[in-house]
Structure 1
Amino acid sequence: MKLETKQDFQQWMFQVLNPLKPLYSEGCARLPLGDSGVTYPKVSIEMEAFSRPLWSLVPLWLGGGKGFEEIYQKGLANGTDPSHPEYWGGFKDYDQRFVEMAAIASGLIFTPEKLWEPLSEEGKQNLAKWLYGINEYIIPECNWQFFMILVNVALKKLGCRYSKERLASGLEKIESYYIEDGWYRDGGSCQKDYYISFAIHYYGLLYAVAMEDEEPERCLLFKERAKRFAKDFIYWFDENGSALPYGRSLSYRFGEAAFWSAYVFAGLDDIPAGVVKGIIARHLNWWTEQKIFDRDGVLTIGYGYPNLVMAERYNAPGSPYWGMKTLLCLGLPDDHPFWSAKAEDLPELEPVKMLKQADMVMHRHGKDVVSYPAGVCEKYGHGHVPEKYSKFAYSTRFGFSVAKSQIVLHENAPDSSLAFVIDGDDYVFVRKYSDSYEVLEDRVVSRWHPFPGIMVTSTIIPKEYGHLRIHEIESQYDCTAYDCGFSVEKFTETYEQKAEGKGAFVSSGKQNCMVYGEGPEAAGLVIEADPNTNVLYPNSSIPAVSYRIKKGETIRLETRVESLIR
């Protein structure tokens, strides 16, 4: 749909949220959306689903729109009433309900007339007491600190009991996460992903708007950092509206653009309103073209289609509605320049750009946006960490694949990876993380080991045709190494593939990827990946080159990866 006016954006929101209306519980405090498993209990699952639509409803109300008010007034009253059967209950350390408090707190800060004032005195006391619980338990030292911060800001503004100490300590911890150039780390994590944009910066900008009068210096700091970050983050977006599929929590889908909505909401304008509007509008429209809803119109877990293979352990049926944060722009007044601005194309960006703090080089290659990360990630995380952070290349048009197992190539689906199979074994070993790395202006160099006794130094260099990979390998085993290109959509009308000599080629018509290798016994092949491994499309094939690696030798391989988007 065309997204130009405020009404257009409101309509987009209602198209996403209206299918939920008949699914709320009788007391409106629970929203059961499915039966897949997650690491927290049913009460938290259904409370999460109730809370997350608020990320767009609060801006809707703030901007003068109407809808869902009665559901959320009733739900808040019942969910925080210990005598009601739909009571959300008490807490434990690291409780998921602390996450969901942030959306409620946002509503209390920006639209108290919708969520606070209609409550009875008893209802207000119950809600305030329930929210205060976040101060009495342990929360992770990461972006979760902002949930505690926003709750205490809300309680303070309402004249309720709040924790001055926890508010101050939370802000101190957020400050300790700052690196430079507008980038944060997410607590102790070394990963740089969407949590920097749709969590830390997003909440920082909410804080900057809410507390500008009380803490002008800190609020200005949050804004200035967001401005610097925006100059890098814009490189993650494609001209067609898609964003780089990279890292964890991709089931939040259109939450990838949430930062831009917070950017304009906080009054930042270094990047013109028309450019920001273009990014958000194209992004939302791109997502509506994907198969992300079930037959009842409810968002599914997955990325380009319903897919539990790539999900994290914390993805519950209601989790994808975190993406509603991208509708924060609905909180802008009717006469804001954002609404009158024409949605503009992306500005001219450098074809190759080093993002130093993100540990990657970005490459705008034709109609594709490709990232070459250094493989900097946690050794153990939330699931499929190597696939989400440690491939050699990530593409807005090709996506990436997530392994179903570490056994045999087609189950591992090692696109954009150098995969090793040791003689006499069926296990597939890829880069899990880099032991050391260097990100330069025009290349990324990393040293890594897929398995003890195999050391690899990989150099990835952007080229006009795609990219070049140079690998230096020392192995204590006889093995075969498979250097794999992008994963290409299968079963299209114009699909074709070919493996011949030292190269292989796969084309869907719209996507083309060819790999060609120079090294010992180089041979082209096509890997028929298992269904539901690629995040963008359910069936795919991967062109690759195999090389023979002999025990005790130091081998140099060169693989040319050519890619084309029509």
Structure 2
Amino acid sequence: MMISKKDLQMWMERMLPNDHSYLAQSGSSYTKEIRSFEAIMRSFWGIFPAYGDQPQKLKTFDTVQDFIDCVEEGNLPKLSTENRQIAVELGVLGFILGRYPSSFFQLFSNKGKKELLAWLYQINEIDLPKGNWFFFLLLVNLGLKKNNSPYSQEKIEEALAIIEECYLGEGWYSDGVNRQRDYYVAFAFHFYGLLIDYCFPEEIKTRYKKRAIIFAESFKHWFDAEGRSIPFGRSLTYRFAHCSFWSALLLTEAYRETSLSVSEIKGLMEKNISDWQKRPIVLPKEQNLSIGYGYNQQLLSEDYNAPGSPMWAFKTFVVLALPEEHEFWQAISAMNIQRRDKTVQAHAGFHINHDLHQTTALSSLQCSNNPLLYHHFEKYSKFAYSSYFGFNVTRDIQGIEQFAIDSTLAVSIPGHQQYMTRGKIEKTKMYDSYGVSFWHVWQEVSITTYLVPIDAANHIRIHEIHTNQPLEVVEGGFPLANWNRKYNQAIIQENSCAIENEQGESIIRNLGDVRTARVIPQGPNTNIYSSEKNAVPTLTTVIEAGRTVLVAHIIGQKTKQLLPKVTFHETNNAFQLRGNVDLTIKKERFAK
């Protein structure tokens, strides 16, 4: 695929819903009025970069005309703390005020323009949650300031201070008071920061551009050789929004100060977009982007995902603001990005490995501090996240077949058939060769997990478990899509379970005390990439009260490769891996 500006414009327009009936497809945690407003505003991230200098063309888009009608008829939604979800949608108006004020104001009467600017000022009355939301406050006030409209310098200073508190260093942010360092670092903090530098160079001086340049060196590792991003964290339904960071980097010319060439960035973006274009992510009737990831999958949604929400992906289309003659559109795409095969990202808590078919992140730090976030165990707390295999989402609480056992260790009271796995990570230690996490299940079970990367297809897990009661313990490897026990055979041996098909192979090998190998079937619509049934190779056992160490070698690969040989030994103070891996791991002594 060779991307052109026209191709990208056409793809964007094909994903604009053809009527408003799609908004009745599902609900969300906020009102119908806000959902409707969201659907209008999110389309602007594509429409205005493409046609922002053409006011007559802008009027041909239904959502633009809907917004004009809202303004002229005095039907803008109320701005208040109770309705603060609306503030999220105002960021694009700040961007438009900074980049396209003349053509934007031509859309309205003088009275409409005056009322719109006065309405935008009301964002200053909203109590915002600490985190990336303060960029909306900053964008709107800077947009008002640039256009000689009343604004709040006090709120600008407050927003700058809050954003500064979220900065961790080395290009990384944390979104509020939590340990989440997910795609919001890229498509929120850095995206908005770069737009501020792009739109308001005379109004404000920041360090946002410099930080984004630093972050690019880490973020390039979140994509595989095929352009797919590592599926991890919340808001995955925003899909190709993961590329919006690169779009903003191009728009601001900041890419010139990174190690990446314009050809490398173009190649990455082309591959990512091409992958999404092949997936069934657009519903056929209304033509809207569905809620889900690889397909229409409500199971993956958050409570704040409404039918118009996936158009957050349109932020990637800010690259359409680049003129046709820009070198990005003229460049020949590079086949691959120059980078190391392995990297450790302490702020993310990741050990990342690449090969030709996938990128795998072993995760030892991040978790969700919001217990109400849907499926946060799956989105943040699995041991491994693969760009090729994806991950599964739990269907029900009863039975291991309904539980997303892939890439996790699940425990249950024997006979109860209800499972819990790693959720909150209480302590973390990151080393060059492995990561360590300390976590609890209930009050009675403490587990220290050591994740040791070998390469993108292979890793070792060591679990040191302390429990005051017997436990059923099930450990799973990677999910293999389209594996069905009616038509596929597993290879089960005394210490291993292997499954394979045209998608690849997934294997789990026991390196410690005896466990039973078993294939766990998982239902349709549970994997984030594939709607077909899938399966997970597992090791199961019942452990007694006291201390137990479980060790497994996990393999997941698209094509068969010679497997590394690994043996495990334990001493008083260390775990030892020998064979193709030669590593001594110091035992961590976390307080129980």
The equivalences for 1:277-426 within 5 A come to 277-296=266-285, 297-381=287-371, 382-426=373-417
Name the SS for the 2:419 alignment partner. coil
The 10-residue stretch of structure 1 (463-472 or 240-249) with the greater mean CA deviation from structure 2: 463-472
Q: Does 1:204 align with 2:193?
A: yes
Contact 1:262/1:328 (8 A) holds in 2: yes
Q: Does 1:110 align with 2:67?
A: no
Contact 1:63/1:334 (8 A) holds in 2: no
Corresponding position of 1:468: 460
User: How high is the TM-score relative to the length of structure 2?
Assistant: 0.89
Distance 1:148 1:172 in 2: 12
Distance 2:268 2:227 in 1: 6
Aligned length: 550
Q: Does 1:530 align with 2:520?
A: no
Distance 1:518 1:361 in 2: 21
Corresponding position of 1:561: 554
The equivalences for 1:13-32 within 5 A come to 13-17=12-16, 20=17, 22-24=18-20
Q: Does 1:236 align with 2:227?
A: no
Corresponding position of 1:28: none
Q: Which amino acid aligns with 1:46?
A: S
Q: Which amino acid aligns with 1:233?
A: F
Q: Does 1:88 align with 2:88?
A: no
| Distance 1:175-1:499 versus aligned 2 partners, 3 A rule | same
Name the SS for the 1:357 alignment partner. coil
In the TM superposition, what is the alpha-carbon distance from 1:279 to its structure 2 partner? 1.2
Q: Does 1:488 align with 2:487?
A: no
Q: Which amino acid aligns with 1:235?
A: H
In the TM superposition, what is the alpha-carbon distance from 1:77 to its structure 2 partner? 2.9
Corresponding position of 1:266: 252
Q: Which amino acid aligns with 1:361?
A: H
User: How high is the TM-score relative to the length of structure 1?
Assistant: 0.93
Name the SS for the 2:389 alignment partner. coil
The 10-residue stretch of structure 1 (517-526 or 315-324) with the greater mean CA deviation from structure 2: 517-526
Distance 2:84 2:229 in 1: 30
Distance 2:333 2:315 in 1: 20
Contact 1:375/1:433 (8 A) holds in 2: no
Q: Does 1:549 align with 2:543?
A: yes
| Distance 1:400-1:65 versus aligned 2 partners, 3 A rule | farther
Q: Which amino acid aligns with 1:549?
A: I
Corresponding position of 2:497: 504
Q: Which amino acid aligns with 1:231?
A: E
Contact 1:458/1:472 (8 A) holds in 2: yes
| Distance 1:520-1:66 versus aligned 2 partners, 3 A rule | farther
Contact 1:63/1:332 (8 A) holds in 2: no
| Distance 1:536-1:67 versus aligned 2 partners, 3 A rule | farther
Name the SS for the 1:33 alignment partner. helix
Corresponding position of 1:27: none
Contact 1:438/1:446 (8 A) holds in 2: yes
The 10-residue stretch of structure 1 (438-447 or 198-207) with the greater mean CA deviation from structure 2: 438-447
| Distance 1:371-1:244 versus aligned 2 partners, 3 A rule | same
In the TM superposition, what is the alpha-carbon distance from 1:529 to its structure 2 partner? 1.3
Distance 2:57 2:220 in 1: 32
In the TM superposition, what is the alpha-carbon distance from 1:428 to its structure 2 partner? 0.2
Distance 1:429 1:38 in 2: 27
Choose which of 257, 265, 283 in structure 2 pairs with 1:276: 265
Deviations 1:45-101 (CA, angstroms, capped at 9, x unpaired)? 1110111011111211247798543445532332235x55x5434433461111111
Contact 1:475/1:551 (8 A) holds in 2: yes
Percent identical? 30
| Distance 1:94-1:366 versus aligned 2 partners, 3 A rule | same
Distance 1:149 1:32 in 2: 32
- Which sections of structure 1, spanning at least 5 residues, go unmatched? 25-30
Corresponding position of 1:175: 164
Corresponding position of 1:152: 141
Q: Does 1:74 align with 2:65?
A: yes
Distance 1:68 1:173 in 2: 35
Name the SS for the 1:159 alignment partner. coil
Choose which of 441, 445, 450 in structure 2 pairs with 1:450: 441
In the TM superposition, what is the alpha-carbon distance from 1:344 to its structure 2 partner? 1.1
Distance 2:48 2:58 in 1: 10
Contact 2:420/2:441 (8 A) holds in 1: yes
